[in-house]
Amino acid sequence: MLDDGLFTRFPKPDIALAQHTMFFPAGTIGYHPGYTLAAEHNVLIRLCGVGAHGSMPQKSIDPVVMASALVMRLQTIVSREITPGEMAVVTVGAITSGTRYNIIPDAAKLELSIRTFKDEVFQHIYSALTRMAQAEAAASNAPKPPEVSIMEASQATYNDAEPTRHVAIALTRYFGADRVKEIAPLTGSEDFSLYGHTPGGAGVSSCYYFLGVTDPELYKQKSGNVPGPHSPCYAPDRELSLKTGLQALTVAALSQLGKP
């Protein structure tokens, strides 16, 4: 919508509100002022090797071994290069290489998900993983350097302090303090950030909060160890979730319109 000229065709709003389902007990709400969701950068690393028959590995430069070693090395970025206390996640979610058990392939691909709140932390991580990929390729005598690229990216979601305070007060007044809690930031990511005050964002003040949808009894029985969003086992309590969601978004909107 933004690329289609949303705020050139229509006036820019004073605030953007959003709520997202979460595995908290249905009927509850969680919010956090400031950075509430992380930035995400999806990175592709392509390692080049030399293929050979599986019976003659000495004729190969094995990209599978190269990729395996790199995966282990990447784990040290957060633990050894990022200042303790800074939020950072480096996840290797996919490794792709080869077509058959007896063929050493000529390339391997790694797909990474990197989560951070601060751009300077991401830049450090991206520089480090590029350095490590190049070093691993050189150590393996690869025929050419690795290719490192960013496939997709979204900025961190930032909740502006004043509107978030007003929304939290209104929700607490309506639902009660036992159902509305300030929570820690989460490391998920959301393109809602493009509306807000993040690099490249539209500059609209925003408040993004979370709506619990898990059956309260199930949540209690499982001590909170229940499926979350994007799990095939995610099963919201429909009636209570819909009722709370409708009420919450109405209350949040009214809190910004000068209504009690």
- pLDDT above 90 covers what percent of the chain? 93
- pLDDT above 70 covers what percent of the chain? 99
Reading the block at residue 217, the tokens are: 């009894």
pLDDT-derived band at 259, boundaries 50, 70, 90: low
All CATH 3.40.630.10 domain ranges of the chain, comma separated, are 6-38+156-256
Class of domain 39-154: alpha beta
* Strand partners for 47: 108
All CATH 3.30.70.360 domain ranges of the chain, comma separated, are 39-154
Indicate if the alpha-carbon torsion angle 198, 203, 207, 209 is positive or negative: negative
Q: What is the pTM of this model?
A: 0.89
The Cα diameter of the chain in Å comes to 77
Output phi, psi for 171, to 5 deg.
Answer: -65, -40
Residue 65 in contact with residue 185, Cβ under 8 Å? no
Residue-wise pLDDT for 171-226, tens only, equals 999 999 999 999 999 999 999 999 998 877 899 999 999 999 999 999 999 999 99
Find the DSSP H helices in the chain.
6-9, 63-74, 76-81, 119-139, 161-175, 216-221, 238-256
- The rounded distance, in Å, linking the Cα atoms of 224 and 23 is 8
Burial class (CB in 10 A: 0-12, 13-18, 19+), 155: buried
Q: Which fold has domain 6-38+156-256?
A: Aminopeptidase (3.40.630)
Residue 41 in contact with residue 231, Cβ under 8 Å? no
Torsional class of 219: left (φ above 0), alpha (ψ -120 to 50), beta (otherwise): alpha
